[in-house]
Chain A
Amino acid sequence: EAEVAQSPRYKITEKSQAVAFWCDPISGHATLYWYRQILGQGPELLVQFQDESVVDDSQLPKDRFSAERLKGVDSTLKIQPAELGDSAMYLCASSPGLAGVRETQYFGPGTRLLVL
């Protein structure tokens, strides 16, 4: 069964350092999402791509976060500089992008970030 791949699974960094996360969606999925999940809370959408274009980044802290999906396949989320409050699970999800509101998202295993 096809899965969403993410790496690394765990990342420890010091504040003010740069950190990057990678996501490879299910093959053929046009829509890709990055979420942040703080411990004990539900996922919060950071950015949504349709192919290589950003369709929603209204909740992305653009002063320090950036995301790209250059060829419309895999994606990278970067934080620079990292702050203590960025410690969270970063989840990537994908969906086919064809079925509208009925469509299901499929999640990767996540990257657990700890900022010291």
Chain B
Amino acid sequence: GNSVTQMEGPVTLSEEAFLTINCTYTATGYPSLFWYVQYPGEGLQLLLKATKADDKGSNKGFEATYRKETTSFHLEKGSVQVSDSAVYFCALRSGGMTGNQFYFGTGTSLTVIP
């Protein structure tokens, strides 16, 4: 079956620290992979995506590389800011019997302190 596993939070970092949030997946076929961010009280916003192996998605200083050999899509940022405090969700989209379905991880809460 299809599933996404994220590292558990919460994660607390000082401003300008390096961020890694681990994400691994299990999927049939060739999924696309996504990172979404959710700010308090809001819906999910697409942060970045990668649609095939070895693709790197990037946006707003965040990066993630689609690693088929390790079934991973870890999120990284070189220098976090207070404004990056949010919950981050890893997700995959895979073809299924009833159409293309999304599967989300449980989310990782990030707090950046000044």
Contact = CB atoms under 8 A, between A and B. Distances in A.
Interface of A: 4, 6, 33, 40-45, 48, 50, 55-56, 58, 91, 93, 100-110, 112
B100 A109 contact: no
A101 B106 contact: no
Interface of B: 4, 29-32, 34, 36, 41-46, 49, 51, 89, 91, 93-95, 98-102, 104-107
A30 B78 CA distance: 38
A102 B105 CA distance: 18
Contact of A56 (B36, B95, B101, B106): B101
B89 to A, nearest CB: 6
A68 B112 CA distance: 41
Contacts of A101: 29-32, 51, 93-95, 100
Contacts of A6: 43
Contacts of A91: 43-44
